[in-house]
């Protein structure tokens, strides 16, 4: 599968001692200077600092102190690097709840997300699950499903780009785990921080909305490798190599809705569309393949992600190269060949997935795979043509099964003093 690169992360070089348990100390205060510098003290230095200033906590490692911004042009959790732990959750508005209740809910959710992402407690009844941790790169992202607009009387504001996705031959969709009025994506580099945010969001929903479905995912922890590198999925493949990069000249055009001229309603300016798919990997079948067969299915070396035509992970794939027998080195049905933008009319998506493992079936098969999340300015020009092409002849299709699906309109970021979706709900 095309890959997502991880941002550079500094591995902790020492463990900090237990922090002060005095009441009234916020998680932000616990960060000390680490929030600004990512400084990590050695064991001796930490002990001396703690003894000299008992009212100050020792700095956290850079992993815990890393902080994403809630307010901005775009919502967090789109261009941020992959996080070690993630939760995806969809809600349906409660019977009788409408636009007023939805606005109050998004206001509560935005306030909670801003506090948690800054390393503060959720509210006066915080559960203390993440009391000892820093923000840990926490991001919370909110989106609206197709059904949200009829539930709130806002049908005229529903974007045409939010029309339901077409059926695909690899779909075996569970409707109970698909779609939803509201969607929340939570990611963090600490599992307790991520769970704390999930629990806070669920509690904030109150009587306004009920959970429709919820999924848990994970990635490699930043700093676990000797140097920053592209993540691997549960098939062992590097996953996200050809992801668009913010430095690309056409990145914003492909990933974000422009402020004008797109045909989308004004409230979607600087927003994006998230396609969410629970893709089960048939690992027992996959792992029976030889290494060579697996590489032919993908079109890349399993060891380093290099194309079968040669070079390194980032080397351009030579689609015309043949071997001594005259056969194409990269098979015609290889996943990496078929998913290339230049093989799909320029269709491009920003992949930002999580792996998942939900136990082992009675027959011993792992219920595991990918919580596929991709971002684009228009799904009809991004995910849909790409998936249609994959549907017609991708060698990987034999080893995966799409079991749940959703499409969500994710508005632009909230300005200071605003909540996410305010321009839709109060416009």
The 3-class secondary structure across 53-99, one letter per residue, is CCCCCCCCCHHHHCCCCCCCCCCCCCCCCCCCEEEEEEEEECCCCCH
pTM reported for the whole predicted model: 0.86
Segments of 316-399 assigned E as strands: 350-351, 354-360, 366-376
**Residue written as token pair 């939570």:** 186
Tokens 């430095």 belong to residue: 247
Q: Which helix (H) or strand (E) holds 298?
A: helix 291-298
pLDDT of the residue at 5: 40
Interatomic CA distance for residues 129 and 253, integer angstroms: 40
Task: Return the pLDDT at 57.
Answer: 54
Let me know: does 168 contact 388? Beta carbons within 8 Å: yes
pLDDT value, residue 14: 37
**Overall residue count recorded for the chain in this entry:** 427
Element (H, E) at 49: helix 43-52
Asked whether 21 and 30 are in contact (CB, 8 A), the reply is no
Phi and psi of 176, rounded to 5°?
Answer: -65, -20
Burial class (CB in 10 A: 0-12, 13-18, 19+), 303: exposed
The pLDDT value given to residue 58: 60
Q: What is the largest CA-CA distance in the chain?
A: 74
Q: Show the beta-strand stretches assigned E in 292-378.
A: 350-351, 354-360, 366-376
Structure tokens at 342: 């230049």
Active site residue: 239, 264, 378, 394, which one?
Answer: 239
Per residue in 378-398, pLDDT (tens digit) is 999 999 999 999 999 999 999
Q: Point out the residues of the chain with pLDDT beneath 50.
A: 2-55
Reply yes or no on whether 285 is catalytic. no
3-class SS of residue 367: strand
User: Distance between CA atoms of 426 and 418, rounded to whole angstroms?
Assistant: 11
Distance CA 165, CA 259 (A): 24
Q: How many CB atoms lie within 10 A of CB 291?
A: 11
Residue 60 confidence (pLDDT): 64
């Amino acid at each position: 599968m095309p890959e997502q690169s991880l941002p550079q992360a500094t591995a902790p070089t020492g463990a900090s001692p237990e922090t002060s348990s005095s009441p009234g100390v916020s998680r932000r205060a616990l960060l000390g200077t680490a929030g600004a510098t990512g400084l990590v003290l050695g064991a001796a230095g930490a002990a001396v600092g703690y003894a000299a200033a008992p009212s100050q906590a020792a700095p956290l490692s850079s992993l815990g102190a890393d902080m994403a911004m809630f307010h901005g042009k775009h919502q967090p959790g789109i261009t941020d690097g992959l996080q070690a732990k993630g939760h995806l959750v969809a809600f349906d508005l409660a019977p009788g709840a409408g636009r007023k209740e939805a606005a109050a809910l998004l206001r509560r959710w935005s306030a909670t997300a801003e506090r948690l992402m800054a390393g503060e407690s959720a509210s006066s009844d915080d559960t203390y699950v993440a009391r000892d941790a820093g923000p840990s790169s926490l991001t919370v992202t909110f989106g609206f499903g197709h059904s949200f607009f009829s539930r709130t009387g806002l049908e005229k504001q529903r974007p045409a780009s939010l029309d339901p996705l077409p059926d695909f031959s690899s779909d075996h969709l569970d409707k109970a785990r698909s779609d939803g009025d509201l969607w929340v994506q939570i990611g963090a580099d600490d599992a307790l921080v991520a769970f704390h945010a999930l629990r806070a969001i669920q509690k904030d929903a109150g009587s306004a909305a009920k959970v429709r479905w919820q999924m848990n995912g994970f990635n490699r922890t930043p700093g676990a490798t000797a140097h920053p590198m592209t993540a691997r999925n549960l098939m062992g493949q590097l996953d996200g190599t050809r992801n668009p990069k913010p430095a690309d000249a056409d990145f914003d055009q492909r990933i974000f809705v422009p402020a004008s001229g797109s045909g989308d309603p004004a409230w979607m300016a600087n927003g994006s569309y998230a396609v969410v798919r629970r893709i089960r990997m048939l690992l027992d079948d996959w792992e029976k393949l030889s290494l060579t067969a697996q590489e032919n299915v993908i079109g890349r070396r399993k060891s380093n992600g290099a194309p079968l035509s040669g070079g390194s992970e980032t080397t351009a794939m030579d689609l015309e190269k043949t071997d001594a027998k005259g056969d194409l080195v990269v098979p015609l049905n290889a996943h990496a060949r078929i998913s290339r933008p230049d093989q799909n009319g320029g269709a491009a998506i920003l992949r930002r997935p999580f792996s998942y493992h939900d136990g082992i079936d009675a027959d011993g098969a792992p219920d595991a795979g990918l919580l596929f999340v991709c971002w684009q300015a228009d799904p009809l020009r991004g995910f849909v043509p790409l998936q249609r092409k994959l549907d017609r002849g991708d060698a990987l299709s034999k080893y995966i099964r799409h079991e749940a699906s959703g499409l969500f309109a994710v508005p632009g970021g909230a300005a200071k003093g605003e909540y996410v979706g305010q321009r839709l709900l109060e416009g």
